[in-house]
Structure 1
Amino acid sequence: MIYLTSPATVALTALLFFIAIFGRYVLFSLGFWWLFNVSLKEQFAHRAVQTRPRKAGQDWHEIGWSVVTSLIFTGIAIGVIYAYQLGYTQIYTDIHAYPLLWYPASILLVLFIHETYYYWLHRWMHRPGVYKLVHKTHHDSITTSPWTAFSFHPTESTLQAIVIPALTFILPLHISAVGLILIIMTMSSAINHLNTEIYPQDFNRHWLGRWLIGATHHSLHHTQFRFNYGLYFTFWDKWMNTESPDYHRLFGEKSKKTVGSVVEARSEE
């Protein structure tokens, strides 16, 4: 664990954290964008959820907001490090300090709490008096891409960023578990904003897939606004009856053709 002992150490640590946070965003966003829009573009072209063209300069607009988001995430990370040094957090580095079963259980528990927090925060951000001030920046991207993943107004970035750091004061979390949770968060956000349905046919009705959010599910939120508020999972939307009535139909349309069927169709031409 890094210790902040001088202004120079703080500055260097902040720089390294910003590079790691923004770099993680760029790595996942660029990776998913290249894979499904360049490398596998022909095979997945029929899986584009929204066909409305993105606005001119939208990528750079989203990247600009993502820089601001990454700076906010960095500032909060430095605060957590200070708190750890003072002994206020429950972060631990010895993997044997708690039963090994707690390691995966702690990750699942944090994801559940984060999902719950975000679902209700997200619904609050759609209130008329709040939306324009806090959430509209993100919804300026109607047709999303992986670059949309961190494109938030600073107030929303802060509200989103505080929950996992807050949990480090309450729940014992191994330092690597915290890192893994942040990677899951970034990867999930890139997939959800991809605007290309990458999950297989009928995955929306699979015992696991029915609980996971993907591009179709979240794209409907960006176009319909009053449905599909979840972050990682669909259970709150299902429990609160806020899952879009168009979701299963649209998922079926976007996933019914497989890569194999496209290749087969081309071979018959």
Structure 2
Amino acid sequence: MDNKAYGARDKRGYWKPARRPKRAPIFVWPAQPKAFLLWLFGYLKYNSPYVLISLLTWKYLTPSLATMQEFSVDWISLIFLRNAILTIVVYGGFHLVLYIWRRQETDFKYNVKWPDTSNSTFLFGSQTAENVLWTMCSGVPVWTAYEVFTWWMFANGYIPCIDIGDHPLYFVVLMSLVPMWHSLHFYMIHRLIHIGPLYHIVHKVHHHNVNPGPWSGLSMHTFEHIIYFSSVLIHFILPSSPLAAMFQLVRSALSPVLGHLGFDRVIKDEKTSIDTDNYYHYLHHRYFEVNYGADLMIPLDEWFGTAHDGTTEADQAMYERIKAKKYTRGGSR
């Protein structure tokens, strides 16, 4: 297909999309009603698969709350197995199509290099092997632990639970705000674990992935998994529903795959491709000290001066900011 319609490679061979990351219209003034409606449609469309997976998982693959009033190896094992299979299908599926079959080769790939297979930075020298290990042996167990504890709390009435039929409007608003809360929570914890010692102890594992792939999304140190999945704890405070908590956990667990595909677009057929909308986070992996948020849904990076949209102007602003920071640390002359 005609790649030039969507972007081009720079002099160093990195793919740069023509479309730049922009803040959501809800944070633009004066108001732009048409832009807001288009954004809202995209917002609902983007999150609908996670809502559907959450609904089906809760209805067909989760024991009843009555069963989960007491901890039991049986139902806990079921949830762990379900989460592991879901992770393999989603993360492994994207990896299979884009990195093993290489169905579109390097078309729309930000970095033309493939994952490292002989790099001592990674366990076993393999980027993919390390990513899979952290995801399956740490990410899935931590996700499962939070989920098990959440269901046990709901089942025993230790946290406020609403009846959807009695509060339908509140439930819709709650579900609509889950992605917003995820975005805010991610930014706060991400800034935190970029601080000195915390970075080296907790976050460095994830940043091994300068050239991320699908399995990089949940490739984190266990401490980071514990902090990352803690977003579900908001449902322990606000009156909520198990379905809303499920949506929170499913979105937290599965959305990182899109943020780390390494491809700007996924080709559907000769004339159609799908925008993965992950350039914003890819730039964080490439430049490290920019774009701490997962996206610009809430433009915190713009407000705090750490946004990067991929332009040469943003490059210059970043270098000036880093230079100023080093100068300040070194003291005045």
- TM-score, with structure 2 as normaliser: 0.63
Structure 1: which 5+ residue stretches go unaligned?
201-211, 251-269
Identity of aligned residues (%): 21
Matched, 1:4 2:68: yes
1:200-219 map, 5 Å: 214-219=277-282
Partners of 2:76 and 2:216 lie apart in 1 by 24
Q: 2:151 aligns with which of 69, 77, 81?
A: 81
Matched, 1:23 2:93: no
Q: How far off its partner does 1:226 sit? A: 0.4
Residue equivalent to 1:224: 287
Backbone CA RMSD of aligned residues: 2.7
Question: What whole-Å deviation, never above 9, does each CA across 1:85-132 have from its counterpart, x for those lacking one?
Answer: 32112344x43031x222331022232222212102101111122101
Question: What whole-Å deviation, never above 9, does each CA across 1:8-57 have from its counterpart, x for those lacking one?
Answer: x6211221121222222222112223344467833x73200122332212
Tell me the matched-pair count.
Answer: 233
Residue equivalent to 2:10: none
The higher-RCO structure (CA 8 Å, 6+ apart) is 1
Partners of 2:259 and 2:221 lie apart in 1 by 19
What SS is found at the alignment partner of 1:101? helix
Partners of 2:176 and 2:312 lie apart in 1 by 26
CA contact 1:69–1:151 (8 Å) conserved in 2: yes
Give 1:50's aligned amino acid: N
Partners of 2:74 and 2:195 lie apart in 1 by 40
Sort the Cα spacing of 1:237 and 1:46 in 2 relative to 1 into closer, same or farther, 3 A. same
Matched, 1:241 2:305: yes
Sort the Cα spacing of 1:14 and 1:135 in 2 relative to 1 into closer, same or farther, 3 A. same
Matched, 1:65 2:134: yes
Q: 2:181 aligns with which of 101, 110, 113?
A: 113
Partners of 2:296 and 2:76 lie apart in 1 by 32
Residue equivalent to 1:255: none
What SS is found at the alignment partner of 1:47? coil
Residue equivalent to 2:22: none
Partners of 1:104 and 1:196 lie apart in 2 by 33
Sort the Cα spacing of 1:178 and 1:248 in 2 relative to 1 into closer, same or farther, 3 A. farther
Sort the Cα spacing of 1:174 and 1:5 in 2 relative to 1 into closer, same or farther, 3 A. closer
Residue equivalent to 1:135: 203
CA contact 1:65–1:152 (8 Å) conserved in 2: yes
The structure whose residues are more often helix, as a share, is 1
Residue equivalent to 1:53: 114
Partners of 1:108 and 1:199 lie apart in 2 by 26
Residue equivalent to 1:209: none
Residue equivalent to 2:330: none
